[in-house]
Amino acid sequence: DGNIGINSETPAAKLDVAGSFNVSNIVNIGAASPTTSDNGQLNVYTTTSGGKAQFVHGAGFGGVRLAGTAAASGASLVFSNNYNSGTFSDHWTIQHGGSDDSLKFLIGGTGGTEAFRIDSSGRLLLGTTTEGHANADDLTIATDGDTGITIRSGTTHNGRIYFSDATSGAGEVVGSLDYDHNLNKFNIFTNGELRFHINGDGGVGISSNLTVAGVSTLGSGGSGQAILQYQGSQRLKTQSW
């Protein structure tokens, strides 16, 4: 059958090597493989749209390791297209920074523009390499202009931000900011209860579901407590005991 075996008496392929082997130059797999002058490089080329290189292991957490030889060296995984005679158009790069142990996502090749990174403490930094204040540095977003976050919900659904100090029970949602798109109403909850809301017409409710055109409050008056009321043309009245 023309198969060649090295350390194998019954080769199952054109070249069957039973054991380890070293390559000191380039390995090309597939016709018209990319050209390169880097010794030790592995090139895999396929002419089919679904072609891929596969690394399969039996169990556990096997995989592919990308590494450098120096303590401060890193490694990159580059996503490219438009291959032509040994050149590529690089679009995205996932890069490990050996000097600071960060994982960076770059737009372009290994010298591209950094979009965001996860630093060695697990913090997500978007558009910056510097984390925010120590009390709020798990996620930092920075740009040179107006900066913000968009939460987009369905037209009859809510957008929410939850504040939690537990993984189950009432503590999962102790406080929250809630926008109801169906009623166009903004709600603020503390200790699991609705405390404040603003209706779509600007009416405000404090500790109550009752809202009139101006300000309404619900609360039984008590020593040192101020009650805000809407009364005729007077927009705000303060009454205390």
Asked whether the beta carbons of 36 and 29 are under 8 A apart, the reply is no
pLDDT (0 to 100) of residue 215: 52
pLDDT (0 to 100) of residue 82: 82
Instruction: Kindly state the average pLDDT of the residues 87-97.
Output: 90
Q: What angle do CA 136, 138, 140 make, to 5 degrees?
A: 80
pLDDT (0 to 100) of residue 106: 95
Q: What is the pLDDT of residues 161-212, one digit of tens each?
A: 999 999 999 999 999 999 999 999 999 999 999 988 898 888 888 774 444 4
Residue 42 has a CB neighbour count (10 Å cut-off) of 12
Instruction: Kindly state the average pLDDT of the residues 87-100.
Output: 90
- pLDDT higher than 50, residue 236: no
Distance of CA 34 to the CA centre of its chain: 33
CA atoms within 13 A of residue 160's CA, in its CB half-sphere: 11
Q: What is the pLDDT of residues 2-36, one digit of tens each?
A: 899 999 889 999 889 999 888 787 777 776 556 65
Residue 66 has a CB neighbour count (10 Å cut-off) of 11
The percentage of the chain sitting over the pLDDT mark of 90, rounded to a whole number, equals: 46
pLDDT (0 to 100) of residue 212: 47
Instruction: Kindly state the average pLDDT of the residues 78-104.
Output: 88
